[in-house]
Structure 1
Amino acid sequence: MKPSKGPIAWMVNNGVTANLLMLVFIIGGLLMSMQIRKEVYPSYPQNSIRISVSYSGSTPSEMEQGVTLPIENAIADIEGIKEIHSRVNASNSRITAELMNGVNVESVLREIESAVNGASLPSGAESPKIYRYEKRNESFEIVLYGDVDPIVLRETSAEIKSILLDSPALTQVELIGFSKYEVQIEVDSDTLQYYNLGLDDVANSISRNAINQSGGKLDTDAGEVLLQLDESRNWAEDFNNISVLQLTTGSSLMLEDIATIKDGFADQRNRFFYDGQPSASLRIYRLGEQTPASISEAVYNLMPQIEEALRPGISLNILNDDAVVYQQRMSLLLKNAFFGLLVVLLLLALFLDVRLAFWVTVGIPTAFLGSLLFLPVFDVSINMISMFAFIIALGIVVDDAIIAGENIHEKITEGSSLFDATIEGAKSIAVPLTFSILTNIVAFIPIWFLPGTLGLTFKVIPVVIICVFVISWFEALYILPAHLARIKKSKESHRFKAFVRLQSLFDRGLQRLIHHYYLSFLKRLLDHRYLVTAIAVVTLAVSLSYVWGGHLGFRTMPRVESEFSTATATLQIGVSDDEIYSVKQQLEDATREVIKDNGGDKLAKGLSTQIRNRDGELSIISRIFLLPSEQRLISTREVSQLWRKR
């Protein structure tokens, strides 16, 4: 027989090369899995520019007419802007310009700055702030709560924030829960009148004694010395000994003698509560190559120091840990992949040679691990979306390996030698398998060109799928035949007589199904081909009409069970503090009833409430933090419905 030629034949005759390539894919993929960036959702630069303008004393209507519309009109014709949306309240207007994918963001930013600066805005409006919107990736959240003075809570939170930032593994930590800190000085008018003082006199005394400014420089023989006058005062007690007036007795009248000095916050209506007690949150953000696991590990390593820093009456809880979410999803994927491969191996072993089934099954993880070598080239990380892409690819990759393996097995059963059968089997399936792979690749390429944020989020899907498909194609046509060509016929298999009998039983059953039932049914269909065609057309028409009629729902993302439920109450402008806290109490009481009646600690781990004052617009936001869905008896949707009924 004339020796076969071509790349498939060469690979079959050089099995060491096939083994080395498989090892490169497997070992290289395992090593890359330790190095590749890991995150819950893919991170990408935001293609949006934000414009913020403040105008105190105006109304929402004045803001819209005088600020928002002029800016929108000014930037509407700039090339590269996909859409513009705005948010307006009594004293602020925020305009966001969403850009098209692929545009030069810096160039568009300069054009927007020029257009906005040329817009006619009210004289009382502040200068517009124009910047590229950057989304931060929150990875971990710690809540501190307790029935203590807000200043004590703030000091404790600030101390813990410093502990976190001292770790080289943590870069960005944000303290949430307090409005702007200020030292509040209250002076009674009668006291001022008694000492013949005015508020300006007190203010000037404070200004003279609480300064931090440069004192110039001093040239010396040793070099230049910079001088700094530092009389800054940060806490209320630092202001006590400021001299306000020199008395006739020769003594000084101190600020603490005439005023009540205390630490406080600029806006008392911005408050956070957890389980009904004042609270603050420390949010840790992921930057660069940081991963949810590395951040979580760093925080837990610091936990002894954090707990030591807690003041009496202050407790701690962890509300968000992306490492847990990531690990849950990854464990689910790996578990499903393992059981899927096990089922494939068992089913193939029942109908084909066990060793052939083994090599076909091994080719599947080889394709997945091999694809990991190429993902960093396209800046793709391991995240929820890329995991979803792996799941999509799994079914198709299994089909490719089975088709190639089964075709080679068919050639072997026809009596050809192992080498000739594997080469001929791989060659005969090469063209249809190649076109099958190309067809699937083409089907996923349009996802790459989706516009806006949707495109930036989902473009990892075609990258992952193409990498897996290409490696799978190479493995099925070149590596798999090289392994199957070296499966030697051995009497050793007769030791497993029970399994051989089981194989024979399944094979006879399959042949009977094919020849007695399937072929006869197929013959009847062919004899009534016009009726079959008509039924197919009607089925297609009914299916399309069902979709076009709006009966089939559509979601960009599948519904995932959330681990929290949120209720928001919006209040009228001008409501009193008593009314605010009355609504807050109603929300919290209803929440506690729902939790108590549906499992208590087995349902939820906490309740947070925020009183938010955004430029005079008051709202109360309550959130139930639920346990993972597999640990509770009712869904998040049911919790929300029960909460709403209360």
Structure 2
Amino acid sequence: MRKLVERFVEYPIYANLIIAFVVLAGVVSLMSMKKAFFPETTSRIINITVFYPGASPVEMEEGVTSRLEEAVRGLIGIKEINSTSVENSSVVTIETTGEYPIDEVLMEVKNAVDGISSLPSAAERPIVSKRRSRSGALFMNLVARDDSDIDLMTLKEYGQRIEEDLMRSGVMSQVNLSGFPTPEISVEVKEEELLRYNITISEIIRAIQLNNQDISGGQIKSDEEELLIRLRSRSTNPNEIGNIIIRGAEDGSFIRIRDIAEVKKKFADTSSKSWLNGKNSVSISVSKLPEEDLEDITIFAQQYVEEFNEENPGVKLELSFSFLEILNSRLDLLIKNGVIGLVLVILVLSMFLNVRLSLWVSWGIPFSFLAMFIYANLIGITINMISLFGMILVIGILVDDGIVIAENIYLHFEKGKTPMQAAVDGTMEVYPAVLTSVATTIIAFSPLLLLQGTRMEMMFHMAIVVVASLFFSLFEAFFVLPAHLSSEKILRRKSLENKKRGIKKYFERFIVWLRDDIYHYALIWLLRWRHAVIGVPIALFLVTFGLLNGGFIKTTFFPMVDFDSFQVNIAFTPGDGEKQTKIYLDNFEKVVWEVNDELVEELNLDEDIIDLVSKSIGSSFSGQEIGSHAGNLNIYPINLEGIKISGHEI
């Protein structure tokens, strides 16, 4: 170790080359790292979905869900089975152990489900699929402008066009439309017309089935060419369906569907509707896959919203929520903390040592992060909330080793040694203590590296960031820092004389007084009463342990933090009508705007504090309740930065 340090001190070009490589490669790696709101983890979830139109939750549970659970319960590789039975559908969620490839478990589950012969005949075929790893990117809403009378069907057509445009962008592939029921072709027959022409409903159904379809008629071959015969009559155009002939008379006249029925395109009678600030809306949610980048998705969406609104004056597309904004706010916090840390290190070390030395010590923060970015990019770590948390956590620790080594090098220089000798001796003297100090922190975070394949897998990203940053910080402190502090431009005899005059003289006297008159006697007293001193932390530990077990200190996986939006969910008894759900949601929305008016007046604001209120019927509690009895409100406040109120208080 000593020879290695001496080599770096003797040839500082090595340190300069390392710095040049880390800066260039680190910046490139940082620019190429993808962004995500949460870490992308390997999916271990398999879903079994069955649709049974008209079935109640009890019927779904007894006739479908319980049989699915029985079929897969004994399969290997399954850790936990959860099921949800709601009106018309059942979902069984299987969490695998991770010990076997998920595709193998998926095939076993499919085979087990295919072997069930006792499902209700009216139930649709079970759909078995593995859940892809994805995370939220943004939410958009499409509404009609105040001066237009565009209906929901037209909004849906606009939404489908937006969906196609976003999918063709090349930066996103997971786009979902919601806020409207399933479109259908409605053939509404008049009873008097049926009696007039003596036609039954079955005849109409048979006419549509036989005529509205694509049929292959084979092919005709000759020596010169081949002709494929195909009848393409399948259509979703109400006019074409209305022209289908039901019956022909002997005089050559025809009875068409439009003669006895009204054919129109409309929404199915299911409860799936949404409103934005009281207007009909189509909701567009975008998710990202591990290979996609959150920043690219958001930038494209922002540009698309501007272009779409310019080209379509009758409708308005709004970006209601973006996960990138929250991520960037945490990134700004990291940058702010880093700048404050650098400034404080430079100021404090400049007071007691010298400015150039403090600059090289503070360089340990960017060096460690840039080197960490290189490694993190190589193994696929993204910039997300968890990795940013790790950076914020470790930023205050990175310069500790550099400060200790730099101060000790300066101490040896004060004793009369040359800068090169002081750099080597000062580093080697504290090498064991610094290594042990940083290694204990690395060891403390190392167990988080073993959490892959568990529910805590996302903490792997934080552990990588912390461990890698501390490791590169050690490398910089042991080799790069001494190489630069060994320069006579950094350790100058003149700097020793400056400590005896000016403001540095008073700082030096203050530290000496603190050491000799305060710390010295406090240490003697503590050693004299060492048994009592040792008992204090033990007693505090026992008290804390008792408060924790007694429930006085609460625990949670994530702390409660302020948020940028919040949700109100409501669900009545399955089977209750849509009217009741909408009345309650309308009342809730009315209260939201009343609170908005009160806060605007109380805080003397020039604009509403509530930006958007999205209301929907058909689902609530993250999809656990589905049907006309369920609904929710999503409330989006404006940016609360600089306003004396939090999301919790709202």
TM exceeding 0.5: yes
Q: Matches of 1:502 and 1:68 in 2, distance apart? A: 78
Indicate the SS of the match to 2:465.
helix
CA contact (8 A) 2:526 2:533 kept: yes
User: Which shifted more, 271-280 or 288-297?
Assistant: 288-297
The question of 1:612 aligning with 2:628 is answered no
The question of 1:211 aligning with 2:213 is answered yes
Q: TM-score, structure 2 length as denominator?
A: 0.91
User: Which shifted more, 8-17 or 50-59?
Assistant: 50-59
**Alignment partner for residue 33 of structure 1, among 30, 35, 50?**
30
1:390 aligned residue: 391
Q: Matches of 1:209 and 1:309 in 2, distance apart? A: 40
**Alignment partner for residue 629 of structure 1, among 632, 640, 643?**
640
- Matched residue type, 2:616: Q
Distance of aligned partners of 1:499 and 1:307 in 2 relative to their CA distance in 1, 3 Å threshold:
farther
2:7 aligned residue: 10
Q: Matches of 2:158 and 2:29 in 1, distance apart? A: 41
CA contact (8 A) 1:602 1:632 kept: no
CA contact (8 A) 2:182 2:267 kept: yes
User: Which shifted more, 291-300 or 56-65?
Assistant: 56-65
CA contact (8 A) 1:215 1:227 kept: yes
- Matched residue type, 2:97: M
Question: How far did 1:178 drift?
Answer: 1.9
The question of 1:148 aligning with 2:146 is answered no
Distance of aligned partners of 1:216 and 1:596 in 2 relative to their CA distance in 1, 3 Å threshold:
farther
Indicate the SS of the match to 2:372.
helix
Question: How far did 1:382 drift?
Answer: 1.1
The question of 1:253 aligning with 2:247 is answered no
Question: How far did 1:30 drift?
Answer: 0.7
Q: Matches of 2:500 and 2:262 in 1, distance apart? A: 91
Distance of aligned partners of 1:217 and 1:21 in 2 relative to their CA distance in 1, 3 Å threshold:
farther
Question: How far did 1:620 drift?
Answer: 1.8
Distance of aligned partners of 1:290 and 1:258 in 2 relative to their CA distance in 1, 3 Å threshold:
same
Distance of aligned partners of 1:569 and 1:436 in 2 relative to their CA distance in 1, 3 Å threshold:
same
Q: TM-score, structure 1 length as denominator?
A: 0.91
1:88 aligned residue: 85
Distance of aligned partners of 1:597 and 1:509 in 2 relative to their CA distance in 1, 3 Å threshold:
same
The question of 1:100 aligning with 2:100 is answered no
**Alignment partner for residue 241 of structure 1, among 240, 243, 259?**
243
Distance of aligned partners of 1:161 and 1:547 in 2 relative to their CA distance in 1, 3 Å threshold:
same
Indicate the SS of the match to 2:82.
strand
The question of 1:437 aligning with 2:438 is answered yes
Superposition RMSD in Å: 2.7
**Alignment partner for residue 76 of structure 1, among 62, 73, 77?**
73
Distance of aligned partners of 1:269 and 1:515 in 2 relative to their CA distance in 1, 3 Å threshold:
same
* Count of residue pairs the alignment pairs up: 634
Question: How far did 1:167 drift?
Answer: 2.6
CA contact (8 A) 2:387 2:462 kept: yes
CA contact (8 A) 2:271 2:628 kept: no
Distance of aligned partners of 1:438 and 1:304 in 2 relative to their CA distance in 1, 3 Å threshold:
closer
The question of 1:360 aligning with 2:372 is answered no
Q: Matches of 1:326 and 1:226 in 2, distance apart? A: 57
CA contact (8 A) 2:305 2:317 kept: no
Distance of aligned partners of 1:498 and 1:218 in 2 relative to their CA distance in 1, 3 Å threshold:
farther
**Alignment partner for residue 183 of structure 2, among 162, 181, 184?**
181
Distance of aligned partners of 1:80 and 1:372 in 2 relative to their CA distance in 1, 3 Å threshold:
same
1:413-424 counterparts in 2 under 5 A?
Answer: 413-424=414-425
Distance of aligned partners of 1:555 and 1:576 in 2 relative to their CA distance in 1, 3 Å threshold:
closer
Indicate the SS of the match to 1:374.
helix
CA contact (8 A) 2:181 2:268 kept: yes
**Alignment partner for residue 171 of structure 1, among 154, 170, 173?**
173
Question: How far did 1:372 drift?
Answer: 0.8
Indicate the SS of the match to 1:338.
helix
User: Which shifted more, 390-399 or 96-105?
Assistant: 96-105
Q: Matches of 2:278 and 2:323 in 1, distance apart? A: 26
Question: How far did 1:152 drift?
Answer: 1.4
1:232 aligned residue: 234
Q: Matches of 1:10 and 1:545 in 2, distance apart? A: 54
Question: How far did 1:375 drift?
Answer: 0.7
- Matched residue type, 1:625: Y
Indicate the SS of the match to 1:629.
coil
Gaps of 5+ in 1: 640-646
CA contact (8 A) 1:87 1:94 kept: yes
User: Which shifted more, 558-567 or 27-36?
Assistant: 558-567
Question: How far did 1:588 drift?
Answer: 1.9
Question: How far did 1:540 drift?
Answer: 2.6
Distance of aligned partners of 1:635 and 1:238 in 2 relative to their CA distance in 1, 3 Å threshold:
farther
- Matched residue type, 2:610: A
Distance of aligned partners of 1:61 and 1:475 in 2 relative to their CA distance in 1, 3 Å threshold:
same
Indicate the SS of the match to 1:349.
helix
CA contact (8 A) 1:179 1:268 kept: yes
1:485 aligned residue: 486
Q: Matches of 1:134 and 1:583 in 2, distance apart? A: 35
User: Which shifted more, 41-50 or 599-608?
Assistant: 599-608
- Give identity over the alignment, percent: 28
2:622 aligned residue: none
The question of 1:338 aligning with 2:344 is answered no
2:522 aligned residue: 521
Indicate the SS of the match to 2:15.
helix
**Alignment partner for residue 109 of structure 2, among 112, 133, 149?**
112
2:137 aligned residue: 139
CA contact (8 A) 2:133 2:289 kept: no
1:559-638 counterparts in 2 under 5 A?
Answer: 559-599=560-600, 601-612=607-618, 616=627, 618-638=629-649
Q: Matches of 2:29 and 2:246 in 1, distance apart? A: 68
- Matched residue type, 1:139: A
CA contact (8 A) 2:184 2:267 kept: yes
CA contact (8 A) 1:572 1:617 kept: no
Q: Matches of 1:522 and 1:222 in 2, distance apart? A: 107
Q: Matches of 1:307 and 1:89 in 2, distance apart? A: 39
Q: Matches of 1:302 and 1:220 in 2, distance apart? A: 53
Distance of aligned partners of 1:290 and 1:477 in 2 relative to their CA distance in 1, 3 Å threshold:
same
Distance of aligned partners of 1:130 and 1:499 in 2 relative to their CA distance in 1, 3 Å threshold:
farther
Distance of aligned partners of 1:182 and 1:64 in 2 relative to their CA distance in 1, 3 Å threshold:
closer
Deviations 1:288-332, CA, capped at 9 Å, x for gaps = 5432221222223333541255363x3221112233233222122
1:643 aligned residue: none
Q: Matches of 2:412 and 2:226 in 1, distance apart? A: 89
2:449 aligned residue: 448
1:311-350 counterparts in 2 under 5 A?
Answer: 312=314, 314-350=315-351
CA contact (8 A) 1:74 1:115 kept: yes
Q: Matches of 1:615 and 1:110 in 2, distance apart? A: 29
